[in-house]
């Protein structure tokens, strides 16, 4: 079936919560679903901040295979919106990645800083192997995990610099926050509502990215 280009990628960036389905340890053999906030990594994979004591974390230690569902309802109807089911494995992030991931995650979920202070929470990142996208009638199908984005992501330091540049940008609406930037769009928060601004084409250079986000800001005024 036909799937619009980058539609699964944009959906991952558009929502802030998903459903994690792990393999239950006890009772064994059952799926164990739970709702969790998440943030997209630079490679558009779900990144979770979860407690070491949580049941789903213990399940992942026993079996790293999991499913993760993200959905965006249309006019309150989930079946009329877009849905993406990702299948793959979760692994705890390396200690060397913690600072970079924390900086990114806190842009999307600033209130999560209190969990980081506890010392019991850690980042887990999904490696998708297969995914099923449903975007409406005739727009659905399976994709491989590597199909979501063939381009090299923006380096974390470059993205942070771009975000800092636009935080100080004079024409930015005061009620608009920039959460993240990638080669296909930028993630926004306006009056507490998450949104996604998509570019007309992938932006490969820093100057092209700046121009695209400036265009986004001008459209928000």
Answer yes or no: is pLDDT of 1 > 80: no
Does the pTM of the predicted model rise above 0.85?
A: yes
- pLDDT, tens digit, 9 for 90 and up, residues 162-177: 888 888 877 778 888 8
Answer yes or no: is pLDDT of 5 > 80: no
The DSSP call for residue 94 is P
Report the pLDDT value the prediction gives residue 217, as an integer from 0 to 100: 83
Q: Is domain 7-148 in CATH 2.30.110.10, yes or no?
A: yes
Distance CA 130, CA 85 (A): 9
Same fold, 7-148 and 156-220: no
Helix (H) or strand (E) holding 114, with range, is helix 113-118
Q: What is the mean pLDDT of residues 13-25?
A: 96
Report the pLDDT value the prediction gives residue 48, as an integer from 0 to 100: 98
- More confident position, 1 or 181: 181
Domain extent listing, the chain = 7-148, 156-220
Distance CA 26, CA 201 (A): 48
Question: What fold does the segment set 156-220 form as a domain?
Answer: Split barrel-like (3.20.180)
Q: By the 8 A CB rule, do 52 and 8 touch?
A: no
Answer yes or no: is pLDDT of 17 > 90: yes
Answer yes or no: is pLDDT of 221 > 70: no
- pLDDT, tens digit, 9 for 90 and up, residues 23-52: 999 999 899 999 999 999 999 999 999 999
- pLDDT, tens digit, 9 for 90 and up, residues 55-76: 999 999 999 999 999 999 888 8
Collapsed DSSP state (helix, strand, coil) of residue 206: helix
| Number of neighbouring beta carbons within 10 Å of residue 35 | 9
| Mean per-residue pLDDT over the chain, rounded | 92
Q: By the 8 A CB rule, do 125 and 173 touch?
A: no
Tokens 């099923």 -> residue? 132
Per the document, the length of the chain is 221
- pLDDT, tens digit, 9 for 90 and up, residues 96-149: 999 999 999 999 999 999 999 988 999 999 999 999 999 877 788 999 998 899
- More confident position, 7 or 137: 7
């Amino acid at each position: 079936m036909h799937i619009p280009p980058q539609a699964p990628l944009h959906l991952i960036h558009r929502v802030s919560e998903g459903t994690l389905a792990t393999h239950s340890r006890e009772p064994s053999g059952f799926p164990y679903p739970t709702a969790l906030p998440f943030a997209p990594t630079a490679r558009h994979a779900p990144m979770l901040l979860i407690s070491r004591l949580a049941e789903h974390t213990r399940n992942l230690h026993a079996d790293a295979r999991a499913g993760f569902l993200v959905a965006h309802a249309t006019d309150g109807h989930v079946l009329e919106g877009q849905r993406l089911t990702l299948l793959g494995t979760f692994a705890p992030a390396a200690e060397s990645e913690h600072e970079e991931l924390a900086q990114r995650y806190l842009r999307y979920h600033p209130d999560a800083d209190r969990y980081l202070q506890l010392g019991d929470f850690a980042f887990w990142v999904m490696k998708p192997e297969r995914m099923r996208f449903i975007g409406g009638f005739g727009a659905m199908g399976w994709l491989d995990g590597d199909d979501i984005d063939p381009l090299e992501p923006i380096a974390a330091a470059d993205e942070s610099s771009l975000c800092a540049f636009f935080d100080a940008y004079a024409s930015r609406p005061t009620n608009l926050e920039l959460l993240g930037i990638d080669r296909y769009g930028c993630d926004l928060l306006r009056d507490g509502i998450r949104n996604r601004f998509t570019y007309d084409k992938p932006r490969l250079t820093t100057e092209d990215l700046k121009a695209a986000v400036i265009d986004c800001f001008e459209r928000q005024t």
